[in-house]
């Protein structure tokens, strides 16, 4: 494969990853890392480095559109970023001490858990919850547009969500996935935030989380411009298109796409991690 062909294939894969990432709040990295390692044979730690940079690009591109449309909850995002940033620094530190085979298996297990919770959630309704006492004190409740009208919603279980966000940040630094899967689950399932608000707020948050660990990968030499640039440009292009589609998409459809995509990737990553192909 020539350098031009490699760049083109990476861009196409990254475009698709960015599109799915914007629709589901995953940030694109959850697709980019398996695609680069399994399809193109890129070393997993270099793939993670490129993914972290692409996650920053996704957050910058898609999040701006979501904030403008009134979907993202900036107050929740900034509050939970305290936990995810601390976790991301820890995860990036641990990544230098964990082998790629183990990373692949951990990656797959995390995705299976995310797919299960997303599919389970798709069977229910997104009924707005009333805020509990702590969420009221922090003024985390807000509204988002539904059929052109503002729909009020509350927030619950703030301590549980904060703890899950620390774990999400650790996984982001360790695996380079932006940890959107765990963030969406934490907000959607634990904190009872509507799914569209969870995915858009996740996109708003992932850039800060990724930036905290990307610097550590850069200092270790795991960010290669030959891989990172086409990944970043592809993911950003796909994210901008995905942001436009999400506004009009059905929640149940988004959950199904989320679950199916990451379950397939999870199985492939675990198999390849066990057999030593990554």
> What is the distance, to the nearest Å, from the Cα of residue 70 to the centroid of all Cα atoms in its chain?
20
Query: Does the structure show a pLDDT above 90 at 12?
Result: yes
Dist. CA 269–CA 108, nearest whole Å: 5
Average pLDDT, the chain: 80
Q: What is the pLDDT of residues 217-248, one digit of tens each?
A: 888 888 899 999 999 899 888 878 887 887 77
Alpha-carbon distance of 68 to 250, in angstroms, equals 20
How far, in Å, CA of 62 to CA of 236, rounded?
8
DSSP assignment of 71-105 equals ---HHHHHHHHHHHHHHHHHHHHHHTTS-HHHHHH
Look at residue 177 in the predicted model and tell me its pLDDT: 63
94, two tokens: 């641990």
Instruction: Look at residue 38 in the predicted model and tell me its pLDDT.
Output: 79
pLDDT of residue 229: 92
Beta bridge partners of 150: 145
> CA nearest 239: which of 207, 217, 193, 269?
207
pTM of the model: 0.67
At 99, the pLDDT band (50, 70, 90 cuts) reads confident
Calculate mean pLDDT across residues 1-28. Answer: 81
Smallest Cα–Cα separation from 266: which of 53, 109, 130? 109
176, two tokens: 């380079």
State in Å, rounded, how far the first CA of the chain is from the last one. 19
Q: How far apart are CA 207 and CA 148, in angstroms?
A: 28
Give the angle subtended at the CA of 97 by the CAs of 92 and 98, to the nearest 5°: 90
């Amino acid at each position: 494969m020539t350098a031009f062909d490699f760049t083109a294939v990476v861009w196409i894969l990254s475009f698709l990853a960015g599109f799915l990432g914007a629709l589901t709040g995953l940030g694109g990295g959850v697709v980019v890392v398996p695609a680069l390692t399994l399809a193109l044979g890129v070393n997993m730690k270099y793939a993670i480095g490129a993914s972290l940079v692409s996650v920053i690009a996704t957050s910058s591109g898609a999040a701006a559109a979501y904030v403008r449309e009134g979907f993202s909850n900036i107050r929740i995002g900034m509050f939970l970023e305290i936990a995810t940033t601390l976790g991301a620094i820890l995860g990036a530190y641990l990544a230098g001490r964990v082998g790629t085979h183990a990373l692949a298996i951990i990656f797959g297990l995390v995705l299976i858990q995310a797919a299960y919770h997303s599919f389970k959630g798709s069977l229910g309704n997104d009924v707005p919850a009333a805020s509990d006492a702590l969420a009221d004190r922090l003024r985390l409740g807000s509204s988002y547009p539904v059929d052109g009208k503002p729909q009020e919603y509350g927030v619950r279980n703030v301590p549980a969500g904060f703890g899950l966000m620390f774990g999400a940040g650790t996984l982001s630094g360790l695996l380079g996935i932006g940890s959107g899967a765990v963030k969406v689950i934490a907000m959607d399932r634990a904190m009872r935030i509507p799914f569209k608000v969870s995915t858009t707020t996740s996109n708003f948050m992932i850039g800060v989380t990724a930036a905290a660990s990307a610097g550590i990968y850069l200092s270790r030499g795991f960010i290669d411009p030959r891989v990172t640039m086409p990944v970043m440009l592809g993911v950003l292009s796909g994210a901008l298109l995905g942001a436009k589609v999400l506004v009009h998409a059905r929640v149940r459809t988004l959950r199904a796409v989320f679950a199916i995509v990451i379950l397939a990737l999870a199985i492939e990553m675990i198999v390849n991690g066990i057999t030593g192909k990554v």
